[in-house]
Chains A and B, each alone.
Chain A
């Protein structure tokens, strides 16, 4: 093994940190809060390394001599990937906040020792997926994220719905990875190689079938309709903190790995763009319509996630279909803001679940009066997702509108009409949800834990949700630096695609 170790250093820190945290926890019988702080420290270290690596990207991007691994036939190499680093920086920030939040959220779970290492391993697998240039290695790292994420979903294994959700996630995700395995078979049969450093010079039918298999596999993992059926069950029953990580970062990041693999295997940008834009419509409609009738917070947010995956696909799809650089930027910007808002929504819902023991929307009516802070952060998240001005979601909406209009094409404008329809339908879901927090059901005095008295929320939960709320507002009010950041990553992305 040789080369630029800094490319894989974050992965080493995360994997090493996972084992270290677990062993230390076992050895010294650390409490949940100590484990939380320890994991946060590992994530903070990873974040520092990632930021340093990010700053170095302009100098090392797309240089054939910059890699880590064995550049021999059958060897595995890792290359710097700007989008991967950007997504991981967001992922690690989200992970850090979720870890701190879990310092309280998991205080009633005896199995907390395995929870934190699993979060670290999931993030390690994700970064590996972006940097690996070997299809088999990509498969292994995808499996790593799948298995660790499944374990996180089924973390509360004594609850039947949790087990069911974890099992469903494992089966569906494995189906995705198996499809990828099939893709690898086709590619290997055609090229006799599993390295994927650059686009294939002469892709044949087999490699294109392989690309289609990867497309399918990533679509399944991203929750693209009609392969989305696992999403509500999994996010609905997984611990809210886990759902926050999976819905905000993990599933959507698949949409950014997808083009790297598929385009190098011979799929054209037009084909990929067409696919993303057509299925974006389905995601936007199914997500927003199904969201309206949900009775459980987790499922409600799951369908909202499906709609947002559609928005992301729409942005990226325009980028590929029309060759619009701006659209890639829109995709990255949307990823960033959706990650923040969605995580905030799940964590706020988690606060209700933690203090009231339920996610039933009807039972939680009026809960905001007892937990004004949770109601505030949840409202910020939902209003942001609804695209209310001065919150992050509005800037995403503005960018999608302007990109679609800029394309000036009927296809994009039809998709834009569906997007508008979806956001309006979405309002019918988000606004009542905001209102219900403050409006008790008629004649209901159901909220028992504190006998209707205000509940003091733990600082462990207040700080992460407060910071996320602040991010939603700051990105909304002052989007300039964030747009700049995304533009920079977009330029690097263009070089590597």
Chain B
């Protein structure tokens, strides 16, 4: 085994060491726990960057050790361009959330458990993106769910958190079971759990089986993406979760559904199998986009407004995936990254608003514009960003998605409606911004300054968002290479 292959395993193993340290180090202060968490998580960021040059040469890096030999199951990882994009997005979102946690009151109690679970949550997602074995994939897929449920249960807000986490677990687990049925069907048919081998052979399955598996995969992953009407777990979970967890849920975990769609049905089966689903994916994307935006417009709870905006944004991504064109799907991958940055940043803004005003109802918050100028600027950039204003990132991805829609030839009308529907994003963004920062309703008490510990990561993400928007080249190249990985060079 070559050194870089062993290094790849570090992405999953080193955070585990961090988890063990945190579980053992019971007397760790919040700062100490955070340092262990952030350092452990940083390995998951640094290692892929170190492996970048090898990845350019090799196209993909593999690591594999036998796990359950008599069942042909191994601890097998693969870093490819698609995985890289999602992995870095997820790790950056987690790091941002961990840094934000330092200034947040969430996680003050039992900090070592809190950061250990954040690490496990991220490990679940890293493992999901890297798994090259379907058994291993499912283990990581569920780990991400279990860690997030525990975080909501233990550090969520209010007594409602017990019911919400149960709802979140059961609904997303139902989606996971659909995925599990597909994974085991593949495993049973080919006698191996190795994903690379399955990708080579899956197209030999009878067409009906391929259609069945694609349907189940898509429904299962759409639950994770929170596509209407499978989104019902999202608003509550996002609202009740502590803010750093909400950031990871929205910015990173939703992306895992997109990754699943690309990694499984799209990678496994030929385009002819996926083609009949295209129109339905686009319609589902459109409905989700409009429904999420309308709900964001109707909501009064500021965290729920941004939560529903995720339902809407995932709609764009699904629409892009449904176009089955290079541009549309590249746009979808780019949208995942841009959405992660914007959403993480917007939730940070919401967190600061709640901390500063102690209010969660948009009707009770107003006039922050003059008092908190930096926060106002960040919010303005974030909300313009999510509305798709150039030159901020989402403009680029939406452009690609809509271009893909027109290219697809499936339905021009559908693309036009989706384009028009995107105006709703602007409407709820303006309502949010106008009411909170320029509304008349002053909250009863208000802090004079945004807490610096919360503001710093927010500003950093804002700057990152602007840079990403202005320099979309590298991301576009990665998305193209990722797509090439999925379709074996067809696109």
Contact = CB atoms under 8 A, between A and B. Distances in A.
A402 B188 contact: yes
B370 interface: no
Contacts of A420: 177, 181
Given A402-B188, A405-B185, A405-B188, A483 B170 contact: no
A463 to B, nearest CB: 21
A372 to B, nearest CB: 12
A402 B187 CA distance: 8
A428 B177 contact: no
A406 to B, nearest CB: 5
A442 B159 contact: yes
A431 B170 contact: yes
B71 to A, nearest CB: 6
Nearest to A420: B177
B68 A483 contact: yes
B167 to A, nearest CB: 10
Contacts of A423: 177
Contacts of A428: 166, 170
Nearest to A425: B170
A487 interface: yes
A5 interface: no
A29 interface: no
B139 interface: yes
B137 to A, nearest CB: 11
A431 B153 CA distance: 11
Interface string B159-183: 1001001100110011001001100
Contacts of A390: 139, 143
Given A401-B181, A432-B166, A484 B188 contact: no
A20 B181 CA distance: 53
B63 to A, nearest CB: 19
A439 B162 contact: yes
Nearest to A406: B188
A424 B70 contact: no
Contact of B180 (A401, A406, A483, A487): A401
Interface in A466-497: 478-480, 483-484, 487
Contact of B68 (A431, A439, A479): A479
Interface in B52-67: 67
B471 to A, nearest CB: 40
A390 B142 CA distance: 10
B146 interface: yes
B173 to A, nearest CB: 6
Contacts of B143: 389-390
Contacts of A478: 67-68
B184 interface: yes
A292 B142 CA distance: 23
A198 interface: no
Interface in A395-426: 398, 401-402, 405-406, 420, 423-424
B135 interface: yes
B138 A389 contact: yes
A389 B67 contact: no
A435 B166 contact: yes
Contacts of A447: none
B473 interface: no
A427 interface: yes
A483 B70 CA distance: 8
A339 B24 CA distance: 30
Given A401-B181, A435-B162, A442-B159, A427 B170 contact: yes
A405 B185 CA distance: 6
A390 B181 CA distance: 18
Contact of B170 (A424, A480, A484): A424
Contact of A480 (B68, B174, B184): B68
Contacts of B173: 424, 427
B57 to A, nearest CB: 35
B143 to A, nearest CB: 7
Given A388-B146, A484-B70, A431 B139 contact: no
B166 A431 contact: yes
Contacts of B474: none
A438 B166 CA distance: 14
A484 to B, nearest CB: 6
Contacts of B162: 432, 435, 439
A38 to B, nearest CB: 38
Contact of B70 (A405, A427, A431, A480): A480
A424 B174 contact: yes
**Residue of A398, A428, A483 with most chain B CB atoms under a 10 A cut-off:** A398
A364 to B, nearest CB: 15
Contacts of A406: 188
Interface string A304-347: 00000000000000000000000000000000000000000000
Contacts of B165: 435
Nearest to A427: B170
Contacts of B488: none
B341 to A, nearest CB: 30
A237 B21 CA distance: 43
Given A405-B185, A439-B162, A483-B71, A398 B135 contact: yes
A389 B170 CA distance: 15
Contacts of B187: 402
A137 to B, nearest CB: 37
B170 A402 contact: no
A398 B68 CA distance: 13
A420 B173 CA distance: 11
20 contacts: A389-B142, A389-B143, A389-B146, A398-B135, A398-B184, A401-B181, A402-B184, A402-B187, A405-B181, A405-B188, A406-B188, A423-B177, A424-B173, A428-B170, A432-B166, A435-B166, A478-B67, A479-B68, A480-B67, A480-B71
The 9 closest A-B pairs by CB, nearest first: A401-B184, A480-B68, A389-B142, A389-B139, A405-B188, A406-B188, A402-B184, A435-B162, A402-B188
Given A402-B187, A405-B185, A420-B181, 7 more contacts: A389-B139, A401-B180, A406-B188, A424-B173, A428-B170, A478-B67, A484-B70
